[in-house]
């Protein structure tokens, strides 16, 4: 009798574990398939548009979505394709006397990726994240609609697309704030051995007249803060590198 009870108990728990595993996997597969189908829809639409001359072309080397489309110098707004490489974009902008308000610590992203997987930079304390400097986006959604989204139209899509990892659609182009660059950046480095002093210095520097702020913790008693200030002319107080 004891053996029979033990066998029944064992079979019951085995079935219970199997059911839990089944439903857990089912839930995961459902989410995965939905996401996969959504991305496949976008992929198919992009392939369709690529081969349709009166539509849009993404992967061609001369596609407008791979480079700068227009610069509004009066309002300091850049219209750029989502597939444009960040490094090449900064190089072109710098040669024209401009830069993005926020640039991350890596330059191997596209502009669309920078918007969808936003990165930090030394100017975020002043300008926010990159997506905070995007005025408008052109996006293709999973059902094939190409929409212009901003604060006034399709505003929910506009705000939710930032940091969305392209889950709501593929970013075709963006209108982004830019700024004129200066001839010089003067940098100062500060060392701290106490964490509280380090944090207090950050809070103080944030509201001072600087343009760049970056901090690194190297150890429990080794904190480094670096500030930068844009200058048009040579400042004799600083050594010129």
Q: How far apart are CA 190 and CA 202, in angstroms?
A: 10
Distances (CA, A) of 192 to 113, 199, 219, 223: 35, 10, 11, 5
Q: Provide φ and ψ at 192, rounded to 5°.
A: -135, 145
Average pLDDT over residues 187-211: 93
- When pLDDT is cut at 50, 70 and 90, the band that residue 50 belongs to is very low
- Look at residues 68, 65, 59 and name the one whose alpha carbon lies nearest to residue 176: 68
What ranges in the chain are assigned the alpha helix state H?
A: 2-50, 86-95, 111-116, 124-127, 155-161, 195-206
237, pLDDT greater than 80: no
pLDDT higher at 126 or 239: 126
Q: How far apart are CA 27 and CA 22, in angstroms?
A: 9
142, pLDDT greater than 80: yes
Rounded to the nearest integer, the mean pLDDT of the chain is: 78
Distances (CA, A) of 132 to 90, 110, 120: 18, 17, 12
Distances (CA, A) of 172 to 117, 160, 164, 202: 15, 16, 14, 37
- Is residue 157 within 8 A of residue 143, CB to CB? The reply is no
Q: Burial code of 152-163, b = ≥16 C-beta within 10 A, e = fewer?
A: eebeebbeebbe
User: Tens digits of per-residue pLDDT, 87-126?
Assistant: 899 889 988 999 999 887 777 788 988 888 766 788 888 8
């Amino acid at each position: 009798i004891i053996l029979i009870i033990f066998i029944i108990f064992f079979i019951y728990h085995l079935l219970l574990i199997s059911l839990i595993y089944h439903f857990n996997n089912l839930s995961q597969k459902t989410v995965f398939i939905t996401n996969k189908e959504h991305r496949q829809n976008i992929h198919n639409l992009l392939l369709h548009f690529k081969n349709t001359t009166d539509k849009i072309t993404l992967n061609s080397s001369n596609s407008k979505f791979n480079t700068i489309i227009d610069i509004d110098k009066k309002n300091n707004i850049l219209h750029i394709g989502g597939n444009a490489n960040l490094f090449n974009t900064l190089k072109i902008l710098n040669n024209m006397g401009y830069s993005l308000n926020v640039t991350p610590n890596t330059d191997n992203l596209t502009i669309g990726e920078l918007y969808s997987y936003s990165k930090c930079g030394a100017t975020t304390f002043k300008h926010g994240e990159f997506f905070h400097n995007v005025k408008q986006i052109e996006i293709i959604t999973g059902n094939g609609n190409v929409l212009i989204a901003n604060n006034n139209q399709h505003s929910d899509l506009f705000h939710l697309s930032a940091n969305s990892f392209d889950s709501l659609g593929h970013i075709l182009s963006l209108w982004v704030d830019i700024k004129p660059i200066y001839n010089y950046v003067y940098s100062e480095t500060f060392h701290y051995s106490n964490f509280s002093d380090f944090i207090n210095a950050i809070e103080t520097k944030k509201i001072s007249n600087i343009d760049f702020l970056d901090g690194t913790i190297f150890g429990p008693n080794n904190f480094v803060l670096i500030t930068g200030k844009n200058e048009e002319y040579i400042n004799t107080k600083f050594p010129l590198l």
